[in-house]
Each structure stands twice: as C-alpha cells, then as structure tokens.
Amino acid sequence: MKMKKIKLIAFDLDGVLVDGSGSWAQVHEGLGTLEQSEINGHEYFSGRITFDEWAERDVALWRGVDIETVKEILYNSHLMKGIDETIPRLKKNYKLAVISGGLKILADHLKEKYNMDYSYGNELMVNDGKVKGINQIVDFEGKGKILEKIANDAGIKTEECAAVGDYINDIPMFKVAGFSIAFNPKDESILEYVDEVIYEKDLRRLLRFF
C-alpha cells in the first residue's frame, strides 16, 4: 500500500541508512576507546547517569583528537544496501530528513551526498581542529520533537510524515509520524508503534510503501 498523503520521510541513521555498529561505536572502534565506552553505556542503561552525561563521558575519551580523523572514520561507514537506488527515487516525490542520536558529522555527510533536506544529530564541538566536547541536540527521547520541528519548518502536518527506524529511541518519532516502519528492529518492543516491519537489510524494500 503506497502512502499518497505522505510528504516527508524521516530516517534514523545507524542501522537504517548505515549498516554497522553505529556512528558512536564506529569512532570508538577507530580510536581504540570502545572498552571504556561500553562501561559508560552500562552506567546509562543502569540508570546511574543521564543520557547527556553518557554522551559527555564518551566524547571526553576523544578530547584532543583531530576532527579530520573522526571524519575519516565516519566517512568510511558501510552504507545500507540499496541506498544508492532508494534515496534518489524517494527524493523525487518527498522531502527527506535524517534524525539521529548519533553524530551529526555523518548525518550531514549523507544529507549532502544524497541531496536530502534536513539532518539532525549530536554535534562535536571543536577547538583549533581538535574535539573538545559535545552539543547534545538529539537525546534519547528527543526524536519526536525534532520531527515536529521539521514538519513545522516544511509547512506540513506531522501526519503527512513517515518515520523509518530500528530502535527504542525511535519510538517518539514513530508516535508523531502518520506512518511508521521498523527496519530490521533491534528491539521487538518497537513493533507496537509501527505500521509496517521490514526484516531485510535492503533499503529498496521501502519502495513498495512510497
């Protein structure tokens, strides 16, 4: 069933447009800081620290690293199968957005590469070309509010938006959107919030809905 009323499609980044461990983990892997980052993640999911504290602790592990090194790691991300066909075809008929709890560097890179309309992610702060901190724009519960902002900026209703995601932090976006798709869901609990599910790592599977 094609969604004729949809005017904008919002995509999660990690696990949807990018096939891999996620932009945060990818940088940790590239810089050799993954083990400590896993401790930080456990602290967050155990309720001992906030999401912002988690992000700040993670980025503290990268403080002083050349931002060009981070970009090189992220720009080598393995993109999801079918992206080169799917995104240009959707762009002909819809506005496209990236809303990521990951790093804005990668969200912006894909926005520019595929001529998408909006990109939101968490922004690394830089001083003299070196990482110094993080500007938290998309927190764990924030994707719904950002989709509302994008819809308002685009002059459309939220029910005219579709959302594609794979994890529990996409639920706020699913609740706001008029049509939602779980793409290879990492957590089955998200299924009650979506209209369709795709169990295949191929973005072309989205095309039958749009």
- 133-191 confidence digits (pLDDT tens): 999 888 878 999 999 999 999 999 999 999 999 999 999 999 999 999 999 999 999 99
Catalytic annotation, residues? 12, 14
Q: Give 8-20+78-209's CATH code, choosing from 1.20.59.20, 3.40.50.720, 3.40.50.1000, 1.10.3720.10.
A: 3.40.50.1000
Q: Which residues pair with 79 in a beta bridge?
A: 18
Structure tokens at 201: 């790592």
Q: What is the pLDDT, as a whole number, of residue 119?
A: 97
Q: Which residues contact 57 (CB under 8 A, 6 or more apart)?
A: 40, 43, 49
Q: What is the pLDDT, as a whole number, of residue 138?
A: 87
Cα 94 to Cα 80: distance, rounded to the nearest angstrom: 20
Contact criterion met (CB below 8 Å) for 206 and 6: no
Q: Point out the least confidently predicted range of 100-104, 108-112, 161-165, 199-203.
A: 100-104
Q: How many CB atoms lie within 10 A of CB 74?
A: 20
Sequence-ordered strand ranges (E) for the chain: 8-11, 95-103, 118-127, 130-135, 161-165, 179-183, 196-198
Binning pLDDT at 50, 70 and 90, where does residue 75 land? Answer: very high
Give me the amino acid identity at 92. Answer: K
Cα 127 to Cα 208: distance, rounded to the nearest angstrom: 46
What pTM was estimated for this model as a whole?
Answer: 0.93
Q: Which residues pair with 163 in a beta bridge?
A: 10, 180
Binning pLDDT at 50, 70 and 90, where does residue 3 land? Answer: low
